[in-house]
Amino acid sequence: MTRIDKKFAQLKAESKKAFVSYIMAGDPNLELSYELMERLPASGVDIIELGLPFTDPMADGSTIQLAGQRALKEGMTLQKTLDMAKKFRLVDDVTPIVLMGYYNPIYSYGVEKFLENAKECGIDGLIVVDLPPEEDDELCIPAQAAGINFIRLATPTTDDRRLPRVLQNTSGFVYYVSITGITGAASAKANNVGPEVARIKSKTDLPVVVGFGIKTPENSREIASIADGAVVGSAIVEKFADGASVDEICKFVESLATGAHAA
């Protein structure tokens, strides 16, 4: 079992839903992003999604695009992102880390080298937005062989013909994108998301967590109540852009986590 599998088993035993927090590695700089990462578990975060900065993020709205640009300007790289995870593992060997990004930096780094180093640095799962199931031989299957979960996105446009292909080699959990569009573009609505989560859960035993468009503690609770967990990214990342301190961001994260855990 990976840390992700263990975390969901623990949450299920406690009758709790998962709260997943996304942060961009290196935003606004390496020191502050690491400080925030280290404090997330104490703020109620069950799984950390660590964003890998990339120059051309097709699935991300302006908030996360700008965060990636700030991180790249500060000199953030894939290697530094892995080193950030490795440093975190010195103080926390329990909280799962999912690296979320795009394939180009991984391909440039070298897939075999990347998987070896990612495993060594304590990465538990990968979400690679631009690798469809048809490209599973590129990274998905090698990642699973290395003991790293490969987490797939399902969206409102993933119909019943496409869904089995999406689920085929997915592990850890399924990430349901609650809206049609980019991150941070609209608010997720439980009455729209509920039937889709139920449809996915009828086809897999994996947990289904919902992300995109979750911005408030109330929204976090509402979405978590009809899924296995909620993911918040843009609303957290935006706090750094607005000049909030790590203390202020942690208080906000705690309120979101409390919402999800109350579902």
Residues 6+ away with beta carbon under 8 Å from 237: 22, 23, 24, 27, 63, 64, 67
Residues 6+ away with beta carbon under 8 Å from 161: none
Neighbours of 214 (CB within 10 A): 30
Q: Is 49 a catalytic residue?
A: yes
Q: Which of 39, 35, 53, 47 lies closest to 4 in space, CA to CA?
A: 47
Which listed residue (38, 49, 196, 228) is catalytic?
49
| Helix H or strand E segment including 50 | strand 47-51
Which listed residue (60, 124, 196, 254) is catalytic?
60
Runs of H (alpha helix) within the chain: 3-13, 30-39, 62-73, 78-89, 103-109, 111-120, 140-145, 163-167, 190-201, 217-224, 234-241, 246-261
- Give the catalytic positions in this structure: 49, 60
